[in-house]
Amino acid sequence: MKDERFVIALYVDNQFGVLTRVTGLFTRRSFNIDSLTVGVTEDERYSRITITMRGDELTKEQVINQLKKQFCVKKVDLLDESSTQRELMLIKVRHTSGTRTEIMTAVDVFRAKVIDYSPEEMCIEVTGDPSKMDAFVTLMQPFGILEMCRTGIVALDRGSATLLTK
């Protein structure tokens, strides 16, 4: 069976220790996480966790079933491949009079934003799907990346379906 990338979303109780429970489960069942994000939702009782990971069909099934068993997990599901997936990246690059125009062109094409600017470096904010982030990082590499951070994916299914009603 082939490994593929998939995205799981969970509604969990908005309480202390819940994130530990979820991540602890991944550690002890040897599941590898690519990215994990957590934040508040439309319902203050719950937080939403979005996990991106890789694995075969059986791993996918196991992860979901193991998560379902947790008492702090109210709802868990695999997101559709067509779901809207976004990530935010902040990336700090060096610039000189020779490279400035080229960087600004890339910022333009990627519909990114310069959010901090000083004579020798600038900080750029990029949002989009992960492949767009990767492409932007590759483009910036020759100029010298000083620092970067990515949020990991947040995702919602398209249309009227919601995780809680799915």
Partner 1 sequence: MKLNGAEIVVRTLIEQGVTDVFGYPGGQVINIYDALYKYQEEINHILTAHEQGASHAADGYSRATGKVGVCLATSGPGATNLVTGIATAMLDSIPLVAITGNVPCALIGKDAFQEIDITGVTLPITKHNFFVKKIEDLADTLRTAFAIAKSGRPGPVLVDIPKDVQLATYEYEPQPPVKRTPPPKVDEALVERAAELLSLSRRPYIYIGGGAAGLGMGKAVIEFARKIDAVIGCSFMGLSAVPDENERFLGMQGMHGHYASTIAQKEADLILAVGVRFSDRATGNVKKFAKNARIVQLDPDPSEVNKNVRVTLGLVGDVEDSFKRIAARCEAEKRPEWVARVEELKAEEARLQQEIEEANKEKITPKQVFDVINAVKTPETIIATDVGQHQMWTAQYVSFARPRRWISSGGLGTMGFGLGAAMGAYVATGDKTVLITGDGSFGMNLNELATAVSYNIPIIIVLLNNGVLGMVRQWQTLFFGERYSQTVLSRQTDFVKLAEAFGAVGKRAETPEEFEAAFQEAFQANRPYVIDVTIGKDEMVLPMLPPGGAIDDIIVKVEKKPRRKKK
* Closest separation in Å from C-beta 64 to partner 1: 8
Q: How far is the CB of 31 from partner 1 (least distance, A)?
A: 12
- Alpha-carbon gap, residue 110 to 145, rounded angstroms: 17
Residue 19 or 88 with smaller CB distance to partner 1 = 19
Q: Does 151 bind partner 1 (CB under 8 A)?
A: no
- Alpha-carbon radius of gyration of the chain: 19
- Would you say 67 or 89 has its CB closer to partner 1? 67
94 contacts partner 1 (rule: CB under 8 A): no
Looking at the Cβ atoms of 23 and 151, the one nearer to partner 1 is 23
DSSP 3-state of 59 = helix
Both tokens assigned to 43:
């319902």
Please choose, from the candidates 50, 49, 53, 48, the residue with its C-alpha nearest in 3D space to the C-alpha of residue 6. 53
What is the β-pairing status of strands 33-40 and 46-55?
antiparallel
Structure tokens at 42: 């439309």
Which of 3-11, 13-21, 33-41, 142-150 is the region at the interface with partner 1 (rule: CB under 8 A)? 13-21
Q: Which is nearer to partner 1, 51 or 153 (CB)?
A: 51
Whether the CB-CB separation of 84 and 146 falls below 8 Å is answered with no
Phi-psi region for residue 144, left (φ > 0), alpha (ψ -120 to 50) or beta? left
Give the count of beta carbons closer than 10 Å to the beta carbon of residue 93. Answer: 24
Residues between 59 and 78 with contacts to partner 1, criterion CB under 8 A = 61-62, 65-66, 68-71
Shortest Cβ distance from residue 49 to partner 1 (Å)?
A: 17
Among 21, 54, 74, 94, binds partner 1 (CB under 8 A): 21
Assess 24 for contact with partner 1 (CB under 8 A). Answer: yes
| Residue ranges in contact with partner 1 by CB under 8 A | 17, 20-21, 24, 28, 58, 61-62, 65-66, 68-71
